[in-house]
Amino acid sequence: MENLSIIDSHIHLWDIQHLDYPWLSQFPEINRTFLLPDYDIATAGQLVEKMIFVQAECKPSHFLKEIEWVEALAQKDKRLVAIIPWAPIHTGNAAAEVLEQFAQNPKIKGVRQLIQPEEDINFCLRPDFIEGIKLLGKNNLHFELTINPNHFPAVLKLVEKCPDTRFILNHIGNPNIIKNQLQPWKQHLKAFACSGIHYCKFSNLVCNANLEHWHIDDLKPYSDTVIDVFGPEKLIWGSDWPHALRASSWSKWFKTAVFLTEGLNEKERAKIFRTNAIRFYNL
């Protein structure tokens, strides 16, 4: 695997002197600027062919500035091939113009608006949110789901109401690995996988485990589950760097993911670490 050219489907970059990221104040270990030269240092020794930038939770009012900033970075580094920005999905039809503009930008493939922090577990079933998700499908954009396991029942209803929109589940649905809680996450994961041609990101397992003392054996029941549920055809690896630095270096998580997929043959692993991203993100 070390010789395989891979695609990192989930990276973040931020410059705290350029845009405001209020959430970073909660995480002093990553509350600093992270740019592509930092990523190159983190990934030294591994060939990363392409990268996909996922919105980094700057102030919502700055979301268009974040896109402009990332596009400028991509002009200088051709490996940065796709952008998943934030958009005001929750405003329903009011987001129509923005999404239409996104659809004209070849680098923008989909949208992410976090559901995970929402205390209302039915947040994603509000009529305007549903309408926003439907608009994504109409514009040939997908939605990146970032949730906690308790959001699954509502999310499954959302998916059912939006059959023309593709979804990809970030971070395997953030199961509570630190407490070894396989259920009901496992049951919900199977239901999501069966709900359509949706994908799952093989990412961020380490930040859902004990940040300082996790072990591969802690992660294996969860990795085995997602491999069994989605198969190598619908899993896409991502680093979630630099957020994942809270629990692991880029290299350690990559090597861990390689180990966790050792039961697959090289062609199947290549799908998870490269080919599936090309297909799903139309790279």
Residues 129-138 have pLDDT tens digits of: 999 999 999 9
CA distance 85 to 69: 11
Task: Calculate ∠ Cα 106-53-231, nearest 5°.
Answer: 95
pLDDT bucket at 278, cuts 50 / 70 / 90: very high
Going along the chain from its start, the domains and CATH numbers come out as 6-280 (3.20.20.140)
Q: Residue 6's closest CA among 45, 36, 47?
A: 47
Per the DSSP assignment, residues forming a β-bridge with 144 are 112, 168
DSSP 237: E
Dihedral over alpha carbons 58, 62, 65, 66 (to 10 degrees): 20
- pLDDT at 42 > cutoff 90: yes
User: How confident is the model over 47-59, as pLDDT tens digits?
Assistant: 999 999 999 999 9
- 215-231 average pLDDT score: 97
CA distance 16 to 22: 10
- pLDDT at 5 > cutoff 70: yes
Instruction: Report pTM.
Output: 0.96
70-74 contacts at long range (C-beta below 8 A, 24 or more positions apart): 70/13, 71/107, 73/13, 73/35, 73/36, 74/107
- At 4 the pLDDT is 79
- At 240 the pLDDT is 98
